[in-house]
Amino acid sequence: MLSNTPRPLVVVWRLTEACDLSCWFCEFNRRLQRPRHSARAADVLAFGQVLADYAARSGRPVLVSWLGGEPLLWPPLRQVGQHFRRELGLSLGLTTSGERLSAPGLLEHLADLYAEVTVSVDGLAEFHDAVRGAHGLFARLRAAVMDLRRRRADQGRGPLIRANTILMHSNLRHFEPLSQELGDWGIEEITFNALGGQPPGPGYAKQSLTPDDVAWLRAELPGLRQRLAARGLVIRGGERYLGRLASSAAGEAVPVADCHPGADFLFIDERGRAAPCSFTAAGYGVPIQQIACGDDLARLPARFSAARAEAWLPPCHDCPSTQVFGKFDLVRAA
């Protein structure tokens, strides 16, 4: 039966470029000497009202998902999240490395207010701790996730718990053991990215997925999905997404003529620029101060489309935005 519930508008908001880890593949690696900008709480709160107005006028739910850097390093996060959920009625999500999940009262806050919590896990303990530059992180993350799962069970409600993993040449064949381990934690969904990043780190040449790697993944995924489904664990990302990974591995550009910018997905960066994706904020971004109400927000897709019609930005000639290719598509196990 088809649902009559409108598709949500997903707003991914990068609150800060600060991070407390030193992942070698990440542009927000704490060891990199670079400026670190963060969103102003007043701006975030003001735009939250615009999102609530849009939801009320359109009848469409809005999910605001915080991103970083590490969003748990943004000091106003709890206060802002409380306001967004309790006062404005917006749904909340969060992607975190998990290093800060042990902060007092944080898991209670997440269990009470959030619809989704995504933790980043790149492999089993030794591998994960090494690539993240944090000894013991895997064990701390496991304890926090299991605690969050218990809290959800105790209160009969709480967030969907998802893991996102970065697949690279050296960890790809361990995807199934990792998935089994995450299932033991109480993880319900797994999403994955191929190794990417800006700028590339020193290990990219030997760690990027090869065409043979992607072919192996394509062949193994159906069986893996079936085995994990028996445990109630879902791996998202369908054939479109695997095709995009194959093109990237082969060095083939994939331009996108029409990504329907802003229709279902909106990215906001720490400088307060709303854009079709994280790769186009500098070129197509609209300052959120210029979006004063729900009607202004509803007009953004047309505004973005007009900007793309006038001139494509370089990322549009080889689109790196995973959501455009169905990273979050639900694929039922055979």
Cα within 13 Å of Cα(175), Cβ side: 26
Q: Do the Cβ atoms of 81 and 112 come closer than 8 Å? A: no
pLDDT in tens, 239-278: 999 999 999 999 999 999 999 999 999 999 999 999 999 9
Going along the chain from its start, the domains and CATH numbers come out as: 9-325 (3.20.20.70)
Q: Looking at the whole model, is its pTM more than 0.85? A: yes
Backbone angles phi, psi at 189, to 5 degrees: -135, 150
pLDDT in tens, 208-230: 999 999 999 999 999 999 999 99
Q: Do the Cβ atoms of 25 and 197 come closer than 8 Å? A: yes
pLDDT in tens, 67-107: 999 999 999 999 999 999 999 999 999 999 999 999 999 99
